[in-house]
Amino acid sequence: MLRKYFVLIAMAASLVIGSITARAQDAGALLDLLVKKRLITDQEAEEVRGELVKDAAATSSGKLKLSAPITELELYGDTRVRYETREGETASNIPGTPGPNDTQKRSRERYRLRLGLRGTLADDWFFGVRLETSTNPRSTNVTFGDDAGPFGKASDTIGVGQAYIGYRGLRDFTFEVGKIPNPLVTTLMVWDADINPEGLSEQWKHSYNFNFGGGSTPAAESYGKDGKTVAAVEAEPFKVKLDLFANVAQFLYDDANPENPLGPRSVAGNKLVPNSDNWLLAWQLGARLTLPNSIYFQAAPVVYNYTGTGDTFNTFYVGGSSAVTNTASLALNQTGINSLLILEVPMEFGFKIGELPFRIFGDFAVNFDGDERAIAAGHPEAQDQRYAYQVGAGIGQLKAKGDWQLQAFWQHTEQFSLDPNLVDSDFFDSRVNIQGVVVQAGYAISDAVTFNLSYGWGRRADRSFGLGTGGAGDIGVNPIDKYQVFQADLNLKF
């Protein structure tokens, strides 16, 4: 009789704990323990186990089957609905049409969906897959009413945003290969957040913890009023945490195809057609120092270099011109990646006042080959146009329902400072040679839903040039003299 009680207790306990599937597993351990303690027999345990598995098999989760090597699986994603308006104004003195001080404006209602699956496998392997709307590397947006319709689906395509394999079997190291989340600590000034580079990354991170002072002070004898020893006073040590990290990446930027053509290599414009893959290599070293009271400072300098030629981005970059018509300016090369050897130094300082987090952040970049890039673009007088920087501040965070956040930053990028194919596509329209301000505000309506407003305003940094824009930019004008964008987003994460 006592045994039966324990069987019932096992079942009841299992029903209380977690999901049905988890219950069967938890009960299994519990049943094994009860058998080991000789409180129930193996046969009784088997009967209970069978009942629990039967119950579990009848549930939705019980009908799902995962392959044996999977140790953990997470389904996640987000969807966003956005209203956006952006406009660009032509320069006050340009040849041809459109005329000076003309404005192109685009207002769009858009959505995006990202659906991901990531999991860990036996022996320290892991993987991730994420499907995303849009095939644009710098955007996941789909514009409502943008295709044949009404309500067409031609633009509602799903692309593979991430697909990678990883390994964490060596202490402090993480290795990833595939179409991977950007492993680098960076900012929108250099990398659009929607880009998932393709290639390999090797990451190392190690944390050091230091305690200064603290411990207990020696107890004084016969110190108390009753003549007894008073307990030692515990002093809180000053705790410092230092995280050191290194991120190394090899991204396949542009595949040359074929590497070895039949017959002699092709010639175009008296030059041999390039025949080697182009790789973007990145080396980053970083440190984050965390002090008591949530004070931290982080810096993570990174060097970018490009090797090989590829066959798409190997024409010299010009970046538009204010001396020709708009059409002719747009036709000048905007995407060449010649002469780019860039040092980027993103930094962040944060602290809390009460429970309210503050952060001051910035980024600085210099292209050491900016002089060569300027000369190749036909602007030998502009060899100093090689710097870019961003500086900003933020208050609050969006972690839970009722949270709010404010953030603003100023950004300045020069014509030959950065790779225009990677810079953020929203606030400065995928362009360089532009400077301006961005202001953002957010509020968490629930733990999963946030509402965000963003406004960006910019103008040409140097009026002698066009504005290099990797890809088309959303505003079909070059040079843009003034630019602004407003976005209202409803985001849902799951």
Partner 1 sequence: MKITHLALALGLAFLSAEARAEKLVIKGSDTLGAKLVPQLAEQFKAQHPGTTFDIAAEGSTTGIAAIIDGTAQIGMASRRAKPAEIGAASAKGVHMKPTIVAYDGIAVIVNSANPIKSLTKKQVEQIFTGEVTDWSAVGGSGGKISLYTRNTSSGTYSDFKELAMKKRDYAGGSQKMAGNEQIAAEVGKNANGIGYVGLAYTKAGGIKVMSIDGVLPSVQTVHAKTYPYARPTFYYTNGDATGLAKQFLDFTISGAGQKIVAQVGFVPIP
Residue 33 in tokens: 């323990």
Separation between Cα atoms, residue 459 and residue 435, nearest integer Å: 6
Q: What is the 3-state secondary structure (H, E, C) of 131-173?
A: EEECCCCCCCCEECCCCCCCCCCCCCCEEEEEEEEEECCCCCE
How many Cβ atoms from other residues are within 10 Å of residue 270's Cβ?
Answer: 5
CB-nearer residue toward partner 1: 170 or 219: 170
CB-nearer residue toward partner 1: 123 or 447: 123
Separation between Cα atoms, residue 416 and residue 402, nearest integer Å: 43
Binding mask 119-158 for partner 1 (x = CB under 8 A): ---xx-----------------------------------
Residue 222 in tokens: 């016969």
Residue 72 contacts partner 1 per CB under 8 A: no
Residue 395 in tokens: 């208050």
Region binding partner 1 by CB under 8 A among candidate stretches 43-51, 275-283, 376-384, 476-484: 43-51
Number of residues that bind partner 1 (CB under 8 A): 20
Residue 66 contacts partner 1 per CB under 8 A: no
Cβ 50 to partner 1, closest distance in Å?
A: 6
Residue located via tokens 């987003």: 489
Cβ 126 to partner 1, closest distance in Å?
A: 16
Residue 260 contacts partner 1 per CB under 8 A: no
- How does DSSP assign 291-339, residue by residue? ETTTEEEEE--EEEEEES--SSS-SPP----SSS-HHHHHHS------S
Binding mask 365-394 for partner 1 (x = CB under 8 A): ------------------------------
Binding mask 9-28 for partner 1 (x = CB under 8 A): ---------------x----
Binding mask 46-65 for partner 1 (x = CB under 8 A): xx-xx--xx-xxx---xx-x
Binding mask 449-488 for partner 1 (x = CB under 8 A): ----------------------------------------
Residue 36 contacts partner 1 per CB under 8 A: yes
Residue 69 contacts partner 1 per CB under 8 A: yes
CB-nearer residue toward partner 1: 1 or 68: 68
- Tell me if 325 sits within 8 A of 95, measured CB to CB: yes
CB-nearer residue toward partner 1: 53 or 318: 53
- How does DSSP assign 74-138, residue by residue? EEEEEEEEEEEEEEEEE-SS-SSSS-TT-EEEEEEEEEEEEEEEEEEEGGGEEEEEEEEE-S-TT
CB-nearer residue toward partner 1: 47 or 462: 47
Separation between Cα atoms, residue 438 and residue 461, nearest integer Å: 15
Give the binding site for partner 1 (CB under 8 A).
24, 36, 42-43, 46-47, 49-50, 53-54, 56-58, 62-63, 65, 68-69, 122-123
